[in-house]
Structure formats: C-alpha cells, structure tokens
Chain A
Amino acid sequence: MLADFIESIAKIVFIFSINLGFFAPILGWVERKQSAVMQDRIGANRADIGGFTIMGLFHPIADAVKVLTKEDFIPAGANKFFHTIAPFICLVPAIATFAVVPFGGRYEIFGHQVNLVIADLDVGILYVFALASLATYGVVLAGWSSRSNWSLLGGLRASAQMLSYEVAMGLTIIGIIMVYGSLKLTEIGAAQANFFRWGIFLQPVGFILFLTCAIAENKRVPFDIPEAESELVAGYFTEYSGLKFVMFWMAEFLEIVTISGIVTTLFFGAWHLPFVTDAMLLSFFQFAGPNGAAILAMLVNVATFFAKVSFFIWLQMSIRWTLPRFRYDQIMRLCWKMILPISLINIFVTGLVVLL
C-alpha cells in the first residue's frame, strides 16, 4: 500500500518536473533556437550570469523573472472572474493529459510491480479527448471575457476550429483502437513490442491525419487562426499580460509535449526500441542482478520514450517555422471535407482488414 503510494507520488513528481520544470521552459528556448537555425540567425544568446551565456539557456530564467514582475492587466469592462479563470482552464488540462500517457512499461523491482504511467485508465484515450475538450472552454472564455473585438473573433474561431478537429481527431484514432483492440494507452503501447507492429506501419493514414488534427487542436501554425497575429493582433489572448499570458503559452508548449507523447504511444512503438524486446534488454543487463537489470531496462525504455517525444517536438517545430497559415474557411474545409471522409474510409478499410 505504502509502496503504491510512494510509486504514484514518484511518478507524478517525475512527470511534473519533466513537463513543467524541463519541457515548458526549455521549449521556449528550443523554439527560438530552432527557428534561428532554420532562418540563418543566431537566436537568443544575450542573457548571461557572470558572463556565461551557455547558448542562451538563461533566457527561460530571464523570461520567468520578467513575467513575474509584469503588471497583471484586466481591461475595463472585462468579466473579471472569467478573465482570470480562463488561463487556468487552458493550463490544467494541458498538464493533466499526460497522466494517462505511459512513459515506460511494467517492471518488477524488489518484488513490487512498477507500471510507468500515472493513471492507467481503462478509457485512456477517451480521457485525452475529454480533457482536450475542456481546454476549448478556456480559449473561448478568454476570448469572450476580454471585451475586445479581436479576442472575441479569436475565441469564435478557436471554438469552431477546436470542436471540428476534435470530431476528426476522434475518428482518426478509431483505426488504431480497432487494430489493437483496446482503449488503454498502456496496452496499445505494450502491443507494439514488435517493430513491424508499430502503429505507423499498421495505420499510416491514421498517423498523418492524427498528427494534423493534433497540431490543429493545439492551434499552432499553420492552424493558428485563433491567434493569427497579422489579422487579430493576438487573438483570444490579446488582452492578457504577465503570468496569465504565460499560462496560455505554457499550455501550448505542454500540449506539444503531450501530442508528441500520444503520437509516440499510438504510432511509434511507445517506449520500445526497434528490434529490441524487453526480454533482450533484461538479459543484456543481467550483470546487475534481477533488480538492477529491471531498473536499467526501465531507464533505457524511459529514455527511448522521451527521445521519440523529442523527435516529434522537433517535427512540430519544423512544421511551425516552414508553413504559412491557413485561412479560416480553408481550415474548416480541410477538416470537414478532407480529413473527416478520409478517416471514415480509413476506419472502413481497417474494419475490412481486421475482419478478414
């Protein structure tokens, strides 16, 4: 009982620290540096402590200090309550979604079963969609409560876009659920131990559609019409400043991590190394004894998982800095007239193949 408790706390602390303590601040830096590399620039390199800049890695700290000392501005006539609560509604689901994403398999350490997922829910993937829907409220409320026309337009666009893409995203994933016969992310992950059983090979169309929908759901370029800076100034968060603004910003980065985590779990073999089974790992680390071998295998798996996550973060950033932005009607057309029918066909074909 106590061991279970400690295990849960350890996992929560681990995910919290890696998401909020590592990914959220570091992604701001990664985005600046990666865009700089892509655009022949130097990028952030000025913040220093005692003359050391370590490639601008102090910028997240400088940003944090700046943000904490900024005025928290609420425009006159805004609905104070909703204006304040909206960024929380955005951020909390972004943090909580990762709870069902497994970042490793099951290991027996000192006679205790360790399952590397915070909450191994039976409805796994449905929980992800449920929380993604919650985030829509944050965006819409932010747009509505700011009492600014730009925010309102941004909120309207966001509600239409996010609702549409949730429908499509739900359908793109059905193929994967049919193939693996489970909604549990841990089981889907465990089913991909064989390299040729990875989701990408069984559901290539589903993968492309899901990634598109996920980026659209996260409202990043080319799908960033709710905040399209050249049209709506900053869209739904035009009237936000200081810490509340950063909460939207952090929600976006955490969603990048979560999307990468889910894509890795569903399509890219989760925590498995290609061509290496868990049994091979355990026998490879035999020299450390059964417990040591389990711990080492666990570390390798967790590292594999986060390496894959990092790859997808890189991919999303590359897309963001390469493409221009869609127009509102084009985004809706893409969703309802292209992605939705293709995902339905995908489900149909998958059903046929599974049946036969």
Chain B
Amino acid sequence: MPDIEKDLHTDYMVINMGPSHPVTHGTVKFLATLDGETIVDLKVDIGYLHRGFEKMCESGTWQQVIPYTDRLNYVSPLINNTGYALAVEKLIGIDTPERCKYIRVIACELSRLADHLTNVAAAGLELGAFTAFLYFVEARELVWDLIEDLCGARVTANYVRIGGVKSDLPDDFKEKTARVFKRCRELWLDVDKLLTKNRVFIDRVRDVGVISGDEAIAYGFTGPCLRACGVPYDVRKAQPYLVYDRMDFEVPIGEKGDNFDKYLVRMEEIKQSMRIVEQALEQIPRGPINIDMPQFRWQSKDDIGNRIDSLIFHFKTVIEGIKPPPGEIYLAVEGANGELGFYLVSDGSGKPYKCRVRPPCFVLTAAMSRLMKGRLIADIVPTFDMINMIGGECDR
C-alpha cells in the first residue's frame, strides 16, 4: 500500500453541497473535502437566507415586529410570536389574562407538533423512506388545519399580540382537535412501525452524529438535540412561562446523543405536545383574551368606534407604537429546536432600539463540521436533518 500511495498521485476532492442541493433544505452550503467517500473536512457556509431581521425590527413599531418573527423558524411561527410577545410584556411589566396564556400554550404546542412532524418526515424522506414522509406530512396538514382555524393562516400565523392574542379559539376547536389528534396518533404509530424498528433506518442513524452532553453544552446546544445527549434541559421546565407549570408532561431524554436518539426524542415530544394541548383545552378558563390596558393593547373595534378614549389610544398606539419603559430584557422560550431567546432594548420610544434573537439552530449548525469529520458523505444527510437547521432562523 505505501508504494502505491507514493507512485499514484491522489488528491482530495473538494465538493460543494449547496446552496441548492436536495439535502440542504434550508439554503446552506457545505464545502466538503473528500477522501473517496470519507469527509476530511466540512465547512458550513450559512447566510443565504439573511434578510436583516434584526435591523428590520428597528424600523417599525414594537407591534410591527410580530409578522417578522413568523419568518424566523417558519415551521413553528407561533412559538416565535409568543416568545417575542412575552419578552415585550416582561419589558413593560404586564401580565396577560389566564385564557390568553392557555391559548398561547395551545398555539405553541401545535407549532411544536408541526415542527417535529416535519422534521421526522424529512428524516425519512432524505433516507429514501418516502412513505413515512407522506404519512407525517398528512399529520402536519391536519395540525395546520387547526392552526388555520385558530388564526386564519397556515404558515405565517401572525397570531399573538403584545398583551393578548388576535382572536379567541373557534367554537368547535376542542372537538376538532380531538379528531385531528386521533388521526395523528394513528399516523404516529404507522411511522413508528416504518422507522423505529426498521433495521435499515437504525443502521443509518445509530452512532452517527454522536456528541457527549458536556461537549453539546460547550457548543451551546439546546432543545431536542441537547436532550438526546442526556441533559434534561427544557425551558418549559427550567423556567416555566405561561402556564407550563400547570401542565403534566415528560421531558424525554436520550443516552448517546446520536441521530437515533434525536429522532426518538422528537417522536416522544410529538406525543407530549399532544398531551399538553389536550390538558390545556380541558383546563382553559373563560374570560378575556386581551389585557385591559388600552395604551398597550387596543380595545375592541366596537369600543374604538364608540368611545373617544379608546379611539385616542388606538390612534396613538398605531401611529407611534406602544412605548415600553427604557431598559433591556432577555427572555427565552422553548422553541421547536431549542432555546429561542429574545434580547430587547428599549429607549422609551415606540420602536425597538435593538431586537436580537438567539436562534437555537445557529449553534447546532456550527457543530456540523465537528459531527461530520471522518464520517461518510452519506452521513451528512441524517445528521443535518436532525440538527433541523431552519434557514430563516439561523440566518435571520
């Protein structure tokens, strides 16, 4: 062998995966240096979906940021909405009514459900299991139907408001949710049968993308990827927000931190999210959905049309924006991919002075080259899928 290597001129092959490549479903580029099929080096090149989200936020009023947050993690927009609204409310120092909190929990968990369904479906698709993909896409469609009932849009929800939500739950929401979840559970079982005990699938994801808990924390991992390493960190349990402390749910953790553990954690979280939604629908009290402070959340259209004070506040908040007191705040919620944090700075005006987002998948994507060095080129596929990099959130 050494003789052959001396006589034969060999060279590494440098190959560009992306930015437009079937595996890079979030517009990202991998610059892979290959020795045959083995990855010698992998550079991740992000930023193809950079739209200047943080700068855009500074040019509109506080309320006008909410539609922008839809476009962060566009697979779970309601969690982004909620995270931003909670941060602003904390900055102002207000608390929303009970019913609003429950509605937000329901919205967040439906979004998490949609995100995990998409992620596991894509994992199947990218490994060639197209059937499993379509089963979960059907489930996601049903969940999106619920979200559509809730807020009128399927993807760009724009539902949560500072100090409330856009509208109340539709009348038959509970019954419809029960129907949808029944079907989702059937589909979950189907996919479980197709993938979880499938030898080919296990061979592809077991022991690929392994990372230890300590190293994952050092990288800044959060969410399902961190929990797969055996670290039971979930913002919903660690710093309960909304009414998560009243909900009975488990935080699944893995052992090895490989792709199979990440898959199992997500599969279990799908079930837990459904449980949370069902509990929230049981416990939800009657009452107002918006805070009764017209300087932060405008009042009903009826009031605005008939009462002069409501009209004045409406005019002021729309034209000048709501005005949180000067200060800064960091607040994190459990996004579908991990800790989604908002760092807001207010100078007392109607526009954010600074709006910085801590995207969970940014640090996950940064770990790609560490996870992939020395592996085969085919391992990029399941690993990158389980990282679940969402371009809108990572690049902002």
Q: Which residues of A contact B (CB under 8 A)?
A: 35, 38-41, 149-150, 153, 157, 221-222, 224-225, 228-231, 233, 321-330
Option from B13, B21, B128, B377 in Cβ contact (under 8 Å) with A323: B128
Give 17 A-B pairs besides A39-B135, A153-B37, A230-B127 with Cβ atoms closer than 8 angstroms. Answer: A149-B13, A150-B15, A153-B377, A228-B128, A230-B128, A231-B380, A321-B131, A322-B194, A324-B129, A324-B198, A324-B204, A325-B127, A327-B203, A327-B204, A327-B376, A328-B376, A329-B376
Looking at A224, A326, A327, the one whose CB has the most chain B CB atoms below 10 A away is A327
CA distance A35 to B132 in the complex (A): 12
A153: chain B residues at CB < 8 Å are 15, 37, 377
A324: chain B residues at CB < 8 Å are 124, 127-129, 132, 195, 198, 200-201, 204
Nearest CB in chain B: distance from A68 CB, A: 27
A229: chain B residues at CB < 8 Å are 22
Option from A38, A149, A150, A325 in Cβ contact (under 8 Å) with B128: A325
CA distance A39 to B139 in the complex (A): 12
CA distance A41 to B22 in the complex (A): 23
B13→A231 contact, CB < 8 A: no
Contact A35/B130 with A153-B377, A230-B125 known, Cβ cut-off 8 Å: yes
A231: chain B residues at CB < 8 Å are 23, 377-378, 380-381
**30 interchain pairs (CB within 8 A)?**
A38-B131, A39-B131, A40-B134, A40-B138, A149-B13, A150-B15, A153-B15, A153-B37, A224-B128, A229-B22, A230-B22, A230-B126, A230-B381, A231-B23, A231-B377, A231-B380, A233-B21, A321-B130, A321-B131, A324-B124, A324-B128, A324-B132, A324-B195, A324-B201, A325-B127, A327-B204, A327-B378, A329-B376, A330-B203, A330-B204
List of 3 A-B pairs having minimum Cβ-Cβ separation, nearest first: A325-B128, A324-B127, A324-B129
A232 and chain B: residue at smallest CB distance: B377
CA distance A62 to B21 in the complex (A): 28
A329: chain B residues at CB < 8 Å are 37, 376
Contact-size category for B: 20 to 34
CA distance A326 to B138 in the complex (A): 25
Contact A230/B129 with A325-B200, A327-B203 known, Cβ cut-off 8 Å: no
B130→A39 contact, CB < 8 A: yes
**Interface status of B379 (Cβ within 8 A of chain A):** yes
Nearest CB in chain A: distance from B35 CB, A: 12
B380: chain A residues at CB < 8 Å are 231
B203: chain A residues at CB < 8 Å are 326-327, 330
A38 and chain B: residue at smallest CB distance: B131
CA distance A150 to B198 in the complex (A): 28
Q: What 0/1 readout, one digit per residue, does chain B (195-209) give for beta carbons within 8 Å of chain A? A: 100101101100000
Nearest CB in chain B: distance from A252 CB, A: 15
B129: chain A residues at CB < 8 Å are 322-324
Nearest CB in chain A: distance from B52 CB, A: 31
A230: chain B residues at CB < 8 Å are 22-23, 125-128, 381
B201: chain A residues at CB < 8 Å are 324
Nearest CB in chain B: distance from A239 CB, A: 15
Residues of B357-378 whose CB lies within 8 A of A: 376-378
CA distance A222 to B127 in the complex (A): 9
B125 and chain A: residue at smallest CB distance: A230
CA distance A250 to B13 in the complex (A): 32
CA distance A41 to B135 in the complex (A): 10
A38: chain B residues at CB < 8 Å are 131
